[in-house]
Amino acid sequence: MDDSKRIKKANETTQEVVKDTNLTIPVSLSCHSKPSGPLPIETRTYMEITAKSSKSENKSHLYVHFEGEHPYCILLKSPHFKGVKVFIIGDFALDEYNTKFGTDYLFHEVRYFLVNDITNKYDEIAALDLFIYEPNTELVIRLPDPAKEELNLISLKKEKKFVDKGWNYYKHGDPKTAATYFWSAGVQGIPHLVKLTKQTGDQEMLERIKLMLLTRYPDEIQLIASLFQIQSPKDIHDAMEQLENPKKLSTNQRRDLIKYVSKTQPYIALKICLRFPEYIQFLPIPCKTEEIMTAFVQICTNLGYTNSLLVYLSEIFVKYGQISHALALGYNASVLADCPDSVTRRACWIMLIDKQFSSLYMTLVAYFNKDQNRSIGGLNASIILSRLTAIKRFPPIKARTACRVMQTIVDPLDPDDLDFLCIVLITASFLFLNGNIDEYIDVSAAINSQNRKFFEKTGIPQEFDLFVYIDKAGEFAINDRPKTESVFAIGDEGSLGNAYNTLATFEMVISHPIPRLTIWDLRRGVKKFKKAAFWHQICESILYKHVLLVLGHYDLLYIVPKLLQYDFSIETVNDAINRIVEIYLYVIQKIHKKMPQLEIYIHPVKIDNKMLIPQAEIFNAVLKKALPEYAIILSESDCMPSYDDSSMVPLRTSR
């Protein structure tokens, strides 16, 4: 029921009491009420003026309606309503109401509203405001409802319990359930839901939550806007002043301030990062340009940084996807020569995934040349070195033999030899991806990809996972030069399904896999090594006319369950699939924008898990329907990628 109808109903169902007085309301107040403290000066002057007024002076009529447990209405007649404060009229009317119903309401315990019968305007006014009288204006006094107040108190206690339960679930690693409790807490849970979303660091999720809150609570637009407001520094001096106290800043605030300073003064931001250890992890932000990176390398040389520190700094740059800067700083042959095998193994893995084959070749030659007597079983470092050096000799193409050399590595593997074996696996993968099939066969012959007893004591490393796919692709690879109509396949390990072989209408597939790559890793705003490697390969694919994207397998296997568990803006499997397809379309559009001459082909998702086949069908159908004209999805009958998920460890990826 709207306000005008409620007032009319009060007029019809309650008794009307008419108060006719020749005196002003303040004079009446002095007879019937006892306000605390002296009256305001303007009121005393007004009383003196109106006290001398004539009884024949025209009087104004004001209806005062009471809304509450006992609806009531009185009519006040007085020649002077203008210039009087609202609480004076309210106190006079409440005195009459309290006398009739035996209540004890005070003027500051009620709410006041002005209602115009003609325009139907219903405006709330404060008790200390001046009363503005106009014709056809009525005053509504809304009384507090004790029963409703008790219910509100119970509701607030219940909402507080929901908030406490939400944070309790969050502490136990269940943000999805925590968000559900915050939603159930109503308006009281809005700040906690925003705080929970900010801790995820996902800007897109933050925007979706903001839209959902505005849709559900349109009356709380000011509260929601204030919670999502980003307080930027006034100027660069203010930002630098805040950076002087890193312990008072959160991680997100530190990163945002470093970004702010780096926009105009990157060299100053670099010096701040080197000055405080809390900012070391943000070094890649000011070092985006080559000039600042050159200056940083010079600083490292002048200060005499050790090789271990240079490797640590290189890993920070890898985390931000700046692979070339990491190679220039610490991941190079000169620094790695004096580093342990574990460091060399990590650097070689990064070079392999990013397809930095020139740097990888020099690093591997230097590593195996350093200790040629190192061996595992019958696999000797000198043999591997000979195969590496044979690459530069450009031998004539040989026909591949059908036989395989017997396995020579004994099991189980000694943990001390794990790093050496992983570097051997990286070497074998490098030879295959570089197109040296014969040399790959010679190196990989001593390693049986079906025997996982090597790693009983150490666990299966990621290098062996990739080698399993490469070894399976090597069984069907054709040792021949790339054809004219070759397609460059990039994506996860599924891109190796037809490596150096035919696929559909393509004469040969040249593939470069990025292990465990997901579409979710390629979303905008994310700084990751895999994402940087993917876009680096896309830029290198300009040597080909066609590019084939093989993505989506690990999204259905790992990312969809994670989104359903952690992203509280996603409710169903279809919502998660639609979210992933949106990112896939963004990637396709970006590729076309960067290189419009490339023909883009999409590999459909093929999965052997019977539980996930319906999801794969939904994914392919949604993707096919949303693809732009310049992207072509291949027929599922032509694509047969094989994934070995039985031996895979769970995907360890940060959101």
- Give backbone dihedrals phi and psi of 373, rounded to 5 degrees, phi first: -85, -5
The reply to whether 305 falls in a domain is no
**Per the domain annotation, does 241 fall within a domain?**
no
Q: Are residues 427 and 541 in the same domain?
A: no
What pLDDT is recorded for position 441? 82
Regarding whether 161 and 132 lie in a shared domain, the answer is: no
Sheet strands side by side (includes 546-550): 508-513, 486-491, 546-550, 599-602, 631-633
Rounded distance, CA 176 to CA 192, Å?
A: 13
Round to whole Å and give the CA distance between 633 and 33.
Answer: 84
β-pair partners for 512: 490
Q: Where are the alpha helices (DSSP H) in 437-484?
A: 437-444, 462-474
> Residue 222, class by beta-carbon neighbours within 10 Å (0-12 exposed, 13-18 middle, 19+ buried)?
exposed
Q: How many CB atoms lie within 10 A of CB 651?
A: 12
- Residues 634, 509 share a domain: yes
Q: Tell me, what CATH number does 192's domain have?
A: 1.25.40
Using alpha carbons, select from 413, 470, 466, 409 the residue that is nearest to residue 441: 470
Residue 293 is assigned to a structural domain of this protein: no
Q: Residues of the chain whose pLDDT is less than 50?
A: 1, 7, 9-56, 394-407, 646-655
Containing structural domain, residue 456: 340-460
In a shared domain, residues 71 and 184: no
Beta bridge partners of residue 76, listed in sequence order: 19, 62
In a domain? residue 555: yes
Q: Residue 332's pLDDT is what?
A: 83
Q: Same domain for 439 and 504?
A: no
Residues 72 and 8 in one domain: yes
553 and 515 housed in the same domain: yes
Q: Which amino acid appears at position 319 of this protein? A: K
**pLDDT, position 524:** 86
| 260 domain residue, yes or no | no
Q: Are residues 138 and 159 in the same domain?
A: no
Which of 207, 228, 249 is where one domain is finished?
A: 228
Residue 86 lies in a domain: yes
Chain segment 246-261, per-residue pLDDT in tens: 887 878 788 889 999 9
Q: What is the CATH number of the domain that holds 13?
A: 3.10.20.90
How much is the pLDDT for 493?
86
pLDDT for residue 152: 55
* 55 and 160 fall within a common domain: no
> What residues have CB less than 8 Å from 407, skipping those under 6 apart?
446, 447, 448, 451
Are 571 and 548 within one domain? Answer: yes
The tokens describing 14, both together, are 């309650």
User: What is residue 640's predicted lDDT score, i.e. its pLDDT?
Assistant: 64
Residues 41 and 85 in one domain: yes
Q: Which of 460, 494, 515 is the last residue of a domain?
A: 460
Do residues 18 and 80 share a domain? yes
Cβ(55)–Cβ(38) under 8 Å? no
Task: Flag whether 96 is in a domain.
Answer: yes
Q: What is the CATH number of the domain that holds 509?
A: 3.40.50.1110
Q: Among 213, 228, 243, where does a domain finish?
A: 228
| Structure confidence at residue 158 (pLDDT) | 75
The total number of structural domains in the chain stands at 4
Helices 529-540 and 573-594 meet at what angle, rounded to 10?
40
Is there a domain that residue 591 lies in?
A: yes
Give the total residue count for the chain. Answer: 655
